[in-house]
Structure 1
Amino acid sequence: MPDTRVLDSLHTITAWPAVAEALQETSEACTRLRWHEGLRRRAPEAAGESRVRGARCSAEMDGARSENAVVRSLLIGATPWPEDPDPTLAVIRGAIQATAEAEHVGRIVGTAPRQALARLHTAAAEPLLHGEDRALVGRPREGRECQEMSDLGAPPADVTGRLTRVVDLLDCVGTPGVPVVLIAAIAHAEIAVVRPFLRGNGLVARALERALVHAGGVDPTGVSVPESGHLRRGATPYLGSLTAYARGSRDGVELWVRHVAEAITEGAAEGERIADAVRAGRLDPAT
């Protein structure tokens, strides 16, 4: 059973006028994408391209710039991974693996949230953690310091308690009257702000958002690219909105939820561009 206090908080946020408006715009954008003619027969192809672009954008949000063609070639195995990848390739590999895993954990994110988080982190962090740190693949950092996303300031000390709040939040998936985009936004922020893992927190947060948007029925086609929306909006608004959320005020939470809703709306537009290209037969593997 979902925690009633969490549900009450979600219902309260949903009723805020600016949030309600942003969530409605997101719903309309994803509905347009869902019924795009280009997805009638070739939705799997379009969804595959969404994963390529999502992984590339998520990696770039963590400073690992690349091109769609490079990520596509690595994802399908046309380009082999080096035995000792440099830091940029390690992040790209983590982004590819986490984005792909998001498609699978969507089935359990609302019923076995701890398992879903562990699987997403295993996918994201496997290329990033080495030596003794590999013992923390798929596990919280347990008192270890996290150096990621330092612009947000030091993460909260109570990692276990805040991670439990994320689990309670994910337990609300599928509850009538609670928009899954709102759950995705809050879950994304909690992972980014708390940084419960030693490495790969940003990759996990964005993959979790993707999993919720897809599995929660907002974008059942899996063609939207929410990561593209975040990248297009830029790192400064992303980190600024997260910083505002971390303060815990209504204005801060509202700013972040609107930021995510608008990023998902832009991600749906990117999905439409993919669907247009698929329908026209001009999804160029070289781009």
Structure 2
Amino acid sequence: MLPVAPSTPPPAGDDPLAPLLDLPGVRDAVDRARTACEELRWHEAFRRRWREVRAEADVRTARAGAAVDGARVPLDVLRGVATGVDRVGPAAGPASVGTADPDGPADLRVATGALRATALAAGWRPDLGARTVPPLPPLGQVLARLHAAAGAGWLPDADLGRVRAAGAAPRDLTGLGAAPDGAEAAERLALLTRTVGATRAPALVVAAVVHGELLAVRPFAAANGTVARAAARLLLCGRGLDPTGAVVPEAAWAAAPLPYLATAARFATGTPEGVAAWVGACADAVVAGAAEGRRVADAVLAGRLG
């Protein structure tokens, strides 16, 4: 839950997320995430082959993110979808990722949606070493487009990119408890968009708040986890914490999905302890994701990718 109630906009000139830096352990979490990303930045693979590292990291991100939601697909299968070797439908969407076959395996449809959302987010990331960073659209627009990409082919078209209607409960992440109704969800998304636009808090804190709030609100009919993780990873890169674009926080979440959801539920309470625990967990995922990024970079240099 955001530190400011939806009905109370932050005062002009105040950073709405600055108070989170004073919560126990948050500054340390920011520092350890920054150190892990800085160490990864100097890997030899990023001198000339950073695009290959990013591409493989994106596939692993999509696979691990789908696994968090219970959709388990072999890495080589999803890599084949990403490269066009295996098709699950006609080419469409970011990076020519195929549209999931509505008659195909459910896990593959969900994983392909995660891959498509990851590919869309990749188009907003700055190039490594770029002197200028292209501005992101407002967060609300980013989330709608991520959801349309994630849900295409397995969610009804009427649900894609749209906040749940009044009285419609989300169909995913039920272990997090009741979600706000559609009207409140829309209001909280608007506040979240304003908050992200106004804050200069460290990227880790911004990404953690966006990630946690989207899991708490679950504004869409389904695929809320995919959207939350894709948006958080995009913010880590776009706001400068992970310039490589190769950190894979999803690897940590996939290895421990129950603690992930339990800590997200603590964030949703809005208590200082719950928010601090969530930011710390996000930092741990970035550290683990940087280690996964290093494994990808090692494999690219050694020519060991499948």
- Give TM-score, length-normalised by structure 1: 0.91
The answer to whether the Cα contact below 8 Å between 1:169 and 1:187 also exists between their aligned partners in 2 is no
Aligned residue number for residue 185 of structure 2: 159
Corresponding residue pairs, total: 275
User: Is the aligned partner of 1:228 residue 2:251?
Assistant: yes
Q: How does 1:74-223 map to 2 (within 5 A)?
A: 74-81=81-88, 83=101, 84-106=103-125, 107-109=134-136, 111-130=137-156, 134-143=157-166, 144-157=168-181, 158-172=184-198, 175=200, 178-223=201-246
CA–CA distance in 2 between the matches of 1:7 and 1:238? 31
Distance 1:108 1:4 in 2: 25
> RMSD across aligned C-alpha pairs, in angstroms?
1.8
**What are the ranges of 5 or more consecutive residues in structure 1 without an aligned counterpart?**
none
Identity over aligned pairs, percent:
39
Q: Structure 1 residues 17 and 246, CA, compared in 2 at 3 Å: closer, same or farther? A: closer
8 Å contact from structure 2 (residues 16, 198) kept in 1: no
Q: 1:263 to 1:4 in 2, by over 3 A?
A: farther
Q: Which moved more, 1:141-150 or 1:193-202?
A: 141-150
Matched with 1:71 is 78
Q: Which amino acid aligns with 1:75?
A: A
TM-score (norm 2): 0.85
1:58-108 Cα shifts (integer Å, max 9, x gaps) = 110110011211110011110110542232111011111011111124544
Matched, 1:267 2:270: no
Are the counterparts in 1 of residues 62 and 118 from structure 2 also a CA contact under 8 Å?
A: yes
1:31 to 38, 53, 74: 38
- Which residues of structure 2 form unaligned runs of 5+? 1-8, 90-100, 126-133
Q: Shift of residue 136 of structure 1?
A: 2.0
Work out the CA distance in 2 between the residues paired with 1:41 and 1:172: 35
Contact 2:61–2:248 (8 Å) recurs in 1:
yes
Residues 108 and 116 of structure 1 are in contact (CA less than 8 Å); yes or no, is this contact kept in structure 2?
no
Higher helix share: 1
TM-superposed CA distance for 1:5, in Å, is 7.2
Structure 1: how far apart are the matches of 2:175 and 2:208?
Answer: 19
